[in-house]
Amino acid sequence: MTSGSPNALHREGDDTGAREKMVALRGALLRLHKALLEMERRDYEREHGVVNVGELFRLVVDDSQFSWLHNISEFVVRLDEALTGKAPIGPADSETAFDLARKMFTPTESGDTFQKQYFAAIQRDPAVVMEHAELARLFSQTLPKEKKE
Protein backbone atom coordinates (compact mmCIF):
# COMPACT_ATOMS: atom_id res chain seq x y z
CA MET A 1 0.00 0.00 0.00
CA THR A 2 1.71 3.19 -1.17
CA SER A 3 0.23 6.54 -2.02
CA GLY A 4 1.89 8.91 -4.45
CA SER A 5 0.82 12.06 -2.61
CA PRO A 6 1.40 12.99 1.01
CA ASN A 7 -1.46 15.50 0.56
CA ALA A 8 -4.09 12.80 -0.02
CA LEU A 9 -6.61 13.02 2.82
CA HIS A 10 -7.81 9.46 2.36
CA ARG A 11 -6.00 6.23 1.61
CA GLU A 12 -7.29 2.70 1.89
CA GLY A 13 -6.16 1.05 5.11
CA ASP A 14 -5.40 4.31 6.95
CA ASP A 15 -7.36 5.66 9.87
CA THR A 16 -8.99 8.67 8.18
CA GLY A 17 -8.83 10.97 11.20
CA ALA A 18 -5.19 10.17 11.91
CA ARG A 19 -4.21 10.69 8.28
CA GLU A 20 -6.10 13.98 8.05
CA LYS A 21 -4.31 15.24 11.17
CA MET A 22 -0.91 14.33 9.75
CA VAL A 23 -1.71 16.00 6.42
CA ALA A 24 -2.82 19.13 8.30
CA LEU A 25 0.39 19.11 10.34
CA ARG A 26 2.45 18.74 7.17
CA GLY A 27 0.69 21.71 5.57
CA ALA A 28 1.13 23.90 8.64
CA LEU A 29 4.84 23.06 8.83
CA LEU A 30 5.35 23.81 5.14
CA ARG A 31 3.70 27.22 5.54
CA LEU A 32 5.79 27.94 8.65
CA HIS A 33 8.96 26.83 6.86
CA LYS A 34 8.17 29.17 3.96
CA ALA A 35 7.67 32.12 6.32
CA LEU A 36 10.93 31.37 8.14
CA LEU A 37 12.80 30.94 4.87
CA GLU A 38 11.51 34.28 3.58
CA MET A 39 12.53 35.94 6.86
CA GLU A 40 16.05 34.53 6.62
CA ARG A 41 16.23 35.49 2.94
CA ARG A 42 15.32 39.11 3.73
CA ASP A 43 17.93 39.22 6.50
CA TYR A 44 20.57 37.72 4.20
CA GLU A 45 19.74 40.09 1.34
CA ARG A 46 19.94 43.14 3.64
CA GLU A 47 23.55 42.25 4.35
CA HIS A 48 24.70 40.65 1.08
CA GLY A 49 22.36 41.91 -1.64
CA VAL A 50 19.56 40.27 -3.59
CA VAL A 51 19.89 36.57 -4.41
CA ASN A 52 18.19 34.63 -7.20
CA VAL A 53 16.35 31.35 -6.74
CA GLY A 54 19.40 29.22 -7.54
CA GLU A 55 21.57 31.11 -5.09
CA LEU A 56 18.86 30.86 -2.43
CA PHE A 57 18.76 27.11 -2.92
CA ARG A 58 22.54 26.92 -2.40
CA LEU A 59 22.25 29.10 0.71
CA VAL A 60 19.50 26.97 2.19
CA VAL A 61 21.61 23.86 1.72
CA ASP A 62 25.05 25.26 2.63
CA ASP A 63 24.90 28.53 4.56
CA SER A 64 24.96 28.48 8.35
CA GLN A 65 22.34 31.24 8.56
CA PHE A 66 19.79 28.85 7.07
CA SER A 67 21.00 25.61 8.67
CA TRP A 68 18.60 25.74 11.61
CA LEU A 69 15.71 25.40 9.13
CA HIS A 70 16.91 21.90 8.17
CA ASN A 71 15.10 20.53 11.25
CA ILE A 72 11.76 21.55 9.75
CA SER A 73 12.66 20.10 6.36
CA GLU A 74 13.64 16.81 7.96
CA PHE A 75 10.42 16.69 9.98
CA VAL A 76 8.33 17.22 6.83
CA VAL A 77 10.30 14.51 5.02
CA ARG A 78 9.50 12.08 7.85
CA LEU A 79 5.82 12.98 7.59
CA ASP A 80 5.97 12.45 3.82
CA GLU A 81 7.58 9.06 4.31
CA ALA A 82 4.86 8.02 6.73
CA LEU A 83 2.05 9.37 4.54
CA THR A 84 3.32 7.62 1.41
CA GLY A 85 4.77 4.49 3.01
CA LYS A 86 3.44 0.96 3.00
CA ALA A 87 2.38 0.89 6.65
CA PRO A 88 -1.14 2.12 7.35
CA ILE A 89 -1.47 5.36 9.33
CA GLY A 90 -3.15 4.93 12.71
CA PRO A 91 -3.99 7.14 15.67
CA ALA A 92 -0.69 6.29 17.39
CA ASP A 93 1.20 7.60 14.36
CA SER A 94 -0.53 10.97 14.39
CA GLU A 95 -0.22 11.24 18.19
CA THR A 96 3.53 10.59 17.97
CA ALA A 97 3.96 13.13 15.15
CA PHE A 98 2.05 15.77 17.09
CA ASP A 99 3.89 15.05 20.35
CA LEU A 100 7.24 15.46 18.59
CA ALA A 101 6.10 18.61 16.79
CA ARG A 102 4.79 20.16 20.02
CA LYS A 103 8.19 19.60 21.64
CA MET A 104 10.14 20.86 18.65
CA PHE A 105 8.02 23.96 18.05
CA THR A 106 7.99 25.24 21.60
CA PRO A 107 9.76 28.59 21.26
CA THR A 108 11.95 29.31 24.25
CA GLU A 109 15.05 31.30 25.04
CA SER A 110 16.40 28.44 27.14
CA GLY A 111 15.73 25.47 24.83
CA ASP A 112 17.87 23.76 22.25
CA THR A 113 19.43 25.65 19.33
CA PHE A 114 16.35 25.26 17.13
CA GLN A 115 13.96 26.43 19.86
CA LYS A 116 16.11 29.50 20.54
CA GLN A 117 16.25 30.40 16.85
CA TYR A 118 12.52 29.82 16.55
CA PHE A 119 11.87 32.02 19.59
CA ALA A 120 13.96 34.82 18.05
CA ALA A 121 12.14 34.46 14.71
CA ILE A 122 8.76 34.85 16.39
CA GLN A 123 10.01 38.04 18.05
CA ARG A 124 11.02 39.66 14.78
CA ASP A 125 8.65 38.61 11.98
CA PRO A 126 4.86 39.02 11.94
CA ALA A 127 4.44 36.37 9.22
CA VAL A 128 6.20 33.85 11.45
CA VAL A 129 3.93 34.86 14.35
CA MET A 130 0.87 34.20 12.17
CA GLU A 131 2.09 30.76 11.07
CA HIS A 132 3.08 29.89 14.64
CA ALA A 133 -0.42 30.84 15.78
CA GLU A 134 -1.90 28.51 13.15
CA LEU A 135 0.38 25.70 14.29
CA ALA A 136 -0.55 26.33 17.94
CA ARG A 137 -4.25 26.25 16.97
CA LEU A 138 -3.71 22.92 15.24
CA PHE A 139 -1.89 21.61 18.31
CA SER A 140 -4.75 22.63 20.59
CA GLN A 141 -7.30 20.94 18.33
CA THR A 142 -5.41 17.66 18.40
CA LEU A 143 -4.66 17.26 22.09
CA PRO A 144 -5.64 13.84 23.41
CA LYS A 145 -8.80 14.02 25.56
CA GLU A 146 -6.92 13.46 28.83
CA LYS A 147 -4.61 16.42 28.09
CA LYS A 148 -7.48 18.81 27.26
CA GLU A 149 -8.95 18.62 30.75
Task: Decide if 148 is inside a domain.
Answer: no
User: 3, 4, 35, 8: which is closest to 22 by C-alpha?
Assistant: 8
* Structural domain harbouring 129: 16-141
Task: Decide if 1 is inside a domain.
Answer: no
Task: Decide if 4 is inside a domain.
Answer: no
Q: Tell me how far the alpha carbon of residue 6 is from its chain's centroid.
A: 14
pTM comes to 0.89
Task: Give the integer Cα–Cα distance in Å for 80 and 65.
Answer: 25
Task: Decide if 11 is inside a domain.
Answer: no
100-117 tens-digit pLDDT: 999 999 999 998 999 999
47-76 tens-digit pLDDT: 999 999 999 999 999 999 999 999 999 999
Task: Decide if 32 is inside a domain.
Answer: yes
Residue 35: is its pLDDT beyond 80?
A: yes
Total domains in the chain come to 1
